[in-house]
Structure 1
Amino acid sequence: MTAAHRQTRATSADELCRQAYAACDGPVAGVALVAVGGYGRGELAPHSDLDVVLVHEDSVDLGGLASDLWYPLWDSGRKIDHSVRSMSQVLEAAGDLRVALGLLDARHLAGDPGLSLRLRTTMLADWRRQARSRLPELKALTRKRHDVTGELAHASVPDVKEAEGGLRDAGVLKAIEASWLVDASTPALEAARLMLLDVRDEVQDLAGRPGDRIAPEMWGPLAERLGLPDAGAAQRHVRSLGRRITHLSRLAWRRTDAVLARPTGEKGRRTPALERIAPGIALSRGEVVLDAGTNPGDDPTLLLRAAAEAASRDAVLAPTTAARLVRDGAELPTPWPAPARDALVRLLASGPALLPVWETLDEVGGIESFLPEWEQVRLLPHASAIHRFTVDRHVVETCAEAGALIRGVRRPDLLLVSALLHDIGKGSLHDHSVAGEPLARKVVTRMGFTDLDAEVVASLVRWHLLLAGLATTRDPDDPATTAELLTHVPDAASLELLRALTEADARATAPAAWTSWRESLVDRLVSRAGQALGTEIVPVVPVEALPVPDAVRRDAGAVSVEITPHEVGATVTVIAADRVGLLADVAGGLAALRVPVKAARAWAQVDADGEWGVSAWEVPDAYLDATVVRERIGRVVEGSQRLPDLAERPTGELPPIVEVRPDASRASLVLEIRTSDRPGVVHRVLTTLAGLGLTVASAHVSTLGPQAVDVFYVQEVGGVRPTEERAAAAAHAVRTALGG
């Protein structure tokens, strides 16, 4: 069935209503019969009701017109949803949001066409006048409906009208558009809506009754009617339409919220202001776009970096920008450059903010540009009924869950990439874990990870179901269970990763998949395996020796600052005579300039002239001035520089984790710190350690999305390893300094 069939049904219904009205011999002026809702749009399904309103001027006496009109319509066998209202009563009834939405689609059927026109213009004007108060009400009503019906793209028995991403949401977008506050209607929306109307018509015709839910047994016949190969193709078709409308709906509501947040009467600039947030990338009215003058073909990392910026800031990745980057952007080389790999990890680490950005990438074909294997799982239904999402959405949810667990593993990047690839083998004819292993190895190698990292990820994909299976079907306290687990998990770092991936996968599956009981069984088995493995030694990352400038060698108080711009910011390299508190002073100088630190490493160099403290800081600003940075560090050393206070930890946010790893280094105390990335974190940690008289022999600072993961190798003055008491005191002091 097509739009032509719907028009035929509407035309037939219109003729029926006009004949009934004509037979009543009612007043010529001041009374009109109008269609509202779906009938007003001329979109009647095979079993739709006829929603009509007999409206009249307040001064007109209808007499027996109403009853004379309804009886022949009832006798026709059609289901009629009808009402009689004066113009003043119509405005009063429009206080009900559902009534107001139906009246926005009012269409003249019979009687006084001038009154019908006045009704429609009055309702549209009233809707626009009250939009700032009515749209939040509409959003709340929409969310309540979604809570009951679920998502069209994922529900096992989807409702093509009421579910999130269904026809009701398409109507809501038209109502947002009618407010004149936001451009919510697009060609993509209208195309999806019309195809979903075709689906609804076939569903009602198949069922032989009103209703919009697709039962499992209907997918096969529906595929035949829609000209699709099989039931699976029908599911992918319908769910893709739902996903598109869901994406457009979420985007429209984000933009609506942004408009409503502006004070009443504030007029936007004719040309939106651009706030540069990264090389080639800017923020405009809450949306990540390309900076002025940026050529997409010059930088193959732009798409991933723009997506990472949007997700990290919980901002909208502008669909037109994403589409342009997919269309005109440079192809990623193999292996990927480091900025692309880092951007993907930042994107995956962004938690719930990942979903809307990933949806935008999916809609514009962006995912296939860097992960062509995604097409195999896109919109693929799960074979198991316990899953609440399709495979691709489950993967995204797993990444979001893993983002909350990166503090508990030593290689957060490998956890996040494993979460992205753990079900990549689904859709093949073989066990998805077996099929996914070589695929994951291939993908991770293409991304530019080392061969060793690729083997770790491939192993996690192969055995991602092992831990939960053993813990719930075998005795976790049986040594044989531990031995079987350790057959496939060679070291403590891999065990951490598998434990975190198991939890993220289960949480993304369904609430029943990760209960406190299941968690306790998994943790008992992990504990047994950890005892059998012992503690892994984490080596200090070797670093290169840098030449010490002559000015630093001659003057013990001199500080050398060198800035090296690169494609995603700059590296600030600082060299000075080593001393307690040097790193804290450098971090303070950058904090004074409000320069965010994306990553950092620090080490000591010793030569015939003395000991030198060397640090390299990765920052997003490629236009820093070395003289200004050096001057600010000097003012911090002098104590004349006022530093910004460490931003308070928001209520409800997870407290910082500060752990001592006593066996990670023989020469140093290793402090591992995982906390939310807030301005001044690095400076606060380093200042606290310096205040205790501790030196930092080596530092490894990284920011993954919203979280900071920092490791400091700490010594006493003279290179002595701190005692256990000093280690405990240092951990407590740092935890307190970070608000723990």
Structure 2
Amino acid sequence: MGEPGRVGGAGPHRRPGRGSALSAPDRARRAAEADELCVEAYRASGGPESGAALVAVGGFGRSELAPYSDLDVVLVGEEGVDIRGIAEKIWYPIWDSGARLDHSVRTMPEMVGAAGADLKVALGLLDVRHLAGDANLTMRLRTTMLTNWRRTAKERLPALKELVRSRHESIGEVAHLSVPDIKEAEGGLRDATVLKALVATWMVDVPHVELERVRLQMLDVRDVLHDVAGRPTDRINPEQWSDLGHELGLSDARAAQVHVRELGRRITHLSHLTWRRVDAALARPAPNQRARRPELTPLAPGVALANGEVVLDRTAKPADDPVLLLRAATAAAEHDVVLAPATAARLAREGVPLPTPWPAEARQLLVRLLASGRGLLGVWETLEETGALSRALPEWDRIRLLPHASAIHRFTVDRHVVETCIEASGLIRQVARPDVLMVAALLHDIGKGSLTEHSVAGEPLAREIATRMGFAPEAVDLVARLVRWHLVLSETATTRDPDDPATVDLIVKRVETAEALDLLLALTEADSKAASPKAWSSWRSGLIRDLARRARAALDSGVALPSIVTDDVPIPQEVRRGSAAITVEHDDDGTRVTVIAPDRVGLLADLAAMFALQRIPVRAARAWSQDQFGVSVWEVGVPELDAAVLRERYDAVVGGRVEAAKRLRRPPPADALEPTVAVRPEASDQATVLEVRTGDRPGVVYLACGALADLDIAVRSAHVDTLGPQAVDVFYLQEAHAGVLSDQRAAEAAHAVRRALTEGAAGS
């Protein structure tokens, strides 16, 4: 054997772009070499030819060894046959060869008992393969495992489904993880193995050719990953994509990502489909109560339900009915059942294209499909995987498997769009045009992947698609407007002062009508919830809803309402006497800290230091002046917080007992992006607005506010927002005793803040 831990001793001598044609023989060669090693170890140990056997299980049992795979073996003996004495004699030669060994010693009854008690053991023993010793014992073991698996399948499959669900929930999905685990994540090799086990029950079937194709390709990826990493691993780190692509014969790192995520997406789809079939099989009556031919339940013209799947009935004419695909998909989604892949593939292959513009039935069916709720996801997957979706919406390929640039997003762009539609389906009763809301949800990110800003690029695309779908001109205009400005409510609410008339005026100019505003608010909520829970926390949703409320009032009457977020708060007596009041509240989103103190230049910097010195992450903050007092509300990422501890730290900062400047003014990491600091003159006529975007780290707000305090510039209000690794902080500035900053002073402020964030030092 060669390198320690490397199966078969084969070094990483592979041609670039070797592909499946070479990977499968490599795996077979590694398995053959490992077999030979185990057979020789058993022979040298003096193991008996009857009553005992050395068997391979798991991946080794399937002869699918990656370069650094473990050898999973079991020494099995008949009851009464002493095999423990030879076990060590078998293991040591294998260890000495440098192979990684996972071994156990069990009697035949112990094997049966272990499989009955542990689902993971049962799954591993479905792939038992003989290595040495008594071949009849191995055959009996394999037959017993398969027979027991099939006999107990109905009782065990619900537990297996929960095991799979729990794994998916804790790890994530190959198609969407920034560091995908190609074995354990949803859509990985573990799921492919589970699918084979489901087929082994004889209760359900799965497209064998397709499953084997994607499974073998994912095994190829794992082989190359082991070579690239030089160790056993199933996780693809960002820096490995380029080498992975090169070894797989792909053009670049992006192509490698698409390839791997496409494989994961395909396995996920097959898994969803098979588990739905399992559920249907478990729910069916006993065989002697079933008719021989599946009963067809009509759902719509040309469409019926059979065995829990939507299929075409005998009256269907794909070549004459352009709406048949949408009719079948909508029926499946609304009944939350499987759209039979064979049906979707047939319609993609034989169906007549939709005319331009679409007929009214097609348009109405699309809206119903998009508004069907959670049933949409599985149906949309089938439409994608069978190529049927490209017939109705060819622009979808622009965003298919496209990763989001923002770390706050849980999914790739295409899946995020589907999740947005699902979220929007629960909001259709809040708007006058549910059809416009659902189509805008479908198209809001269609411009992603363009060189220009995606909402700008998406507007003409959305206009073109909505027109092709046959929407009236006013509806087309609404869809295009929503796509163009789908971020404006969330961005403005979290980065602008709601009390400044320019803030409400900006929203009013973008939406123009109350109808559009209601639609935009619903789309913003759906888009945010689909992105991540943090994007629609009670804090952010409160800011967004308040801004929409005030904009609605301005549209209805021309008069802006006061903010409910920054309404005057009662000033405690202790604050009126010159002290500070700190209160802490806990809710489902985290912890909210409210601080009221006599207003002064530098107050916000001291409060930011109070949090930074405690290493308390600030998710968001609002601060404003109320008469001669400063009020600030902070959303922080610490579940339990003591107001007394915060007060003690604040007093230490103000009293100079803690040198905040020395401890917090430090340079950012060497690989951090340069911060951007810009003056936004259009944002207010009453103050100078400074917008800061930088990587989030402890002390960012302190550094910015400290730099402004050193220049004797007052922060009239502040709006801090953190999503993922990015901090967006906006400060409304005034001279301590004069008002709006001059152009020169504004430039000085921007320079000082930029220098503080770049060098970790305040001052101009």
Q: If the length of structure 1 is used for normalisation, what is the TM-score?
A: 0.71
1:537-585 deviation line (CA, Å, top 9, x unaligned)? xxxxxxxxxxxxxxxxxxxxxxxxxxxxxxxxxxxxxxxxxxxxxxxxx
**Is the contact made by 2:84 and 2:105 (CA closer than 8 Å) also made in structure 1?**
no
Instruction: Specify the SS of the correspondent of 1:332.
Output: coil
Query: Partners in 1 of 2:362 and 2:315 — Cα distance?
Result: 21
Pairing 1:66–2:87 present: yes
Is contact 1:305–1:343 with CA below 8 Å preserved after alignment?
yes
2:629 aligned partner: none
2:281 alignment counterpart: 259
Give the SS at the match of 1:165.
coil
216-225 or 435-444, which moves further after superposition?
Answer: 216-225
Cα offset, 1:252, TM superposition: 0.4
1:42 aligns with 2:63: yes
Corresponding position of 2:47: 26
1:467–1:485: 8 Å Cα contact kept in structure 2? yes
Does residue 370 (structure 1) correspond to residue 403 (structure 2)? The answer is no
> What whole-Å deviation, never above 9, does each CA across 1:661-710 have from its counterpart, x for those lacking one?
xxxxxxxxxxxxxxxxxxxxxxxxxxxxxxxxxxxxxxxxxxxxxxxxxx
Q: How many angstroms does 1:61 deviate by?
A: 2.5
1:116 aligned to which of 107, 128, 138: 138
> Shift of residue 434 of structure 1?
0.6
Cross-structure match for 1:183? 205
| 1:611-658: CA deviation from partner (whole Å, max 9, x where unpaired) | xxxxxxxxxxxxxxxxxxxxxxxxxxxxxxxxxxxxxxxxxxxxxxxx
Post-superposition offset of 1:270: 2.9
Partners of 2:403 and 2:413 within 8 A in 1: yes
User: Is 1:75 aligned with 2:96?
Assistant: yes
C-alpha distance in 2, partners of 1:67/1:210? Answer: 25
User: Which residue of 2 is the match for residue 476 of structure 1?
Assistant: 498
- Residue among 103, 115, 128 paired with 2:125: 103
Structure 1: how far apart are the matches of 2:429 and 2:462? Answer: 23
Does residue 235 of structure 2 align to residue 213 of structure 1? yes
- 2:315 & 2:472 partners in 1: Cα distance? 35
1:85-114 residue CA offsets vs partner (Å, 9 max, x unmatched): 111111011121111111100001111111
Q: In structure 2, what is the Cα distance between the partners aligned to 1:493 and 1:44?
A: 60
Q: Per-residue deviation at 1:404?
A: 0.6
CA positional deviation for 1:269: 3.1
User: Which string of whole-angstrom CA distances, capped at 9 and with x for unpartnered residues, describes residues 265-291 of structure 1?
Assistant: 555433211111111111111111101
Q: Which moved more, 1:182-191 or 1:231-240?
A: 182-191
Deviation of 1:406 (Å): 0.6
- Measure, in 1, the Cα distance between the counterparts of 2:524 and 2:220: 41
Question: Is 1:292 aligned with 2:317?
Answer: no
- Pairwise mapping of residues 136-151 of structure 1 onto structure 2 (< 5 A)? 136-151=158-173
3-state DSSP class of the match of 1:534?
Answer: helix
Partner of 1:27, secondary structure, is coil
Which residue in 2 is equivalent to 1:16? 37
Q: Tell me whether 20-29 or 272-281 shows the greater mean CA deviation.
A: 20-29
Q: Return the offset for 1:186.
A: 2.1
- Give the aligned partner of residue 77 of structure 2: 56
SS in 1 for 2:102: strand
SS of residue paired to 2:448: coil
User: Is the CA contact 2:246–2:252 (under 8 Å) kept in the aligned structure 1?
Assistant: yes
Change (3 A) 1:140 1:266: farther
Per-residue deviation at 1:26? 2.0
Aligned residue identity for 2:93? P
1:89 equivalent in alignment to 2:110 = yes
Shift of 1:24: 1.7
How many residues of Structure 1 are paired with residues of Structure 2 in the alignment? 536
1:170: which partner in 2?
192
| Structure 2 counterpart of 1:307, from 308, 322, 329 | 329
* Matches for 1:457-472 after TM superposition, within 5 Å: 457-472=479-494
1:460-539 correspondence to structure 2 within 5 Å:
460-534=482-556
Q: Is the 8 A contact 1:174 1:185 kept in 2?
A: no
Q: In structure 2, what residue type is equivalent to 1:49? A: D
1:491 partner letter: T
Note if contact 1:10-1:42 (Cα within 8 Å) is conserved in structure 2: yes
- In the alignment, the residues of structure 1 paired with residue 134 and residue 335 of structure 2 have an alpha-carbon distance, to the nearest angstrom, of 54
- Per-residue deviation, 1:534: 1.1
Partner of 2:297 in structure 1? 275
Structure 2 SS opposite 1:214: coil
Q: 1:381 aligns with which of 391, 403, 428?
A: 403
Preserved CA contact (<8 Å) 1:477 1:528: no
Q: What are the equivalent positions in structure 2 for 1:217-366 lying under 5 Å apart?
A: 217-266=239-288, 268-366=290-388
What secondary structure sits across from 1:104 in the alignment? helix
Q: Counterparts of 1:515 and 1:114 in 2: how far apart (Å)? A: 62
Equivalent-residue separation in structure 1 for 2:204 and 2:385 (angstroms) = 20
Equivalent-residue separation in structure 1 for 2:276 and 2:83 (angstroms): 46
- Is 1:442 paired with 2:468? no
TM-score by length of 2: 0.69
Residues 470 and 481, structure 1, Cα contact 8 Å, conserved in 2: yes
Query: Which amino acid in the other structure matches residue 143 of structure 1?
Result: R
- Show structure 1 runs of 5+ residues with no match: 537-740
Find the aligned partners of 1:38 and 1:112 in 2 and give their Cα distance: 21
Which of residues 468, 476, 479 in structure 2 aligns to 1:454? 476
> What's 2:709 paired with?
none
1:477 offset after TM fit, Å? 2.8
What corresponds to 2:657 in structure 1? none
- 3-state SS of paired residue (1:247): helix
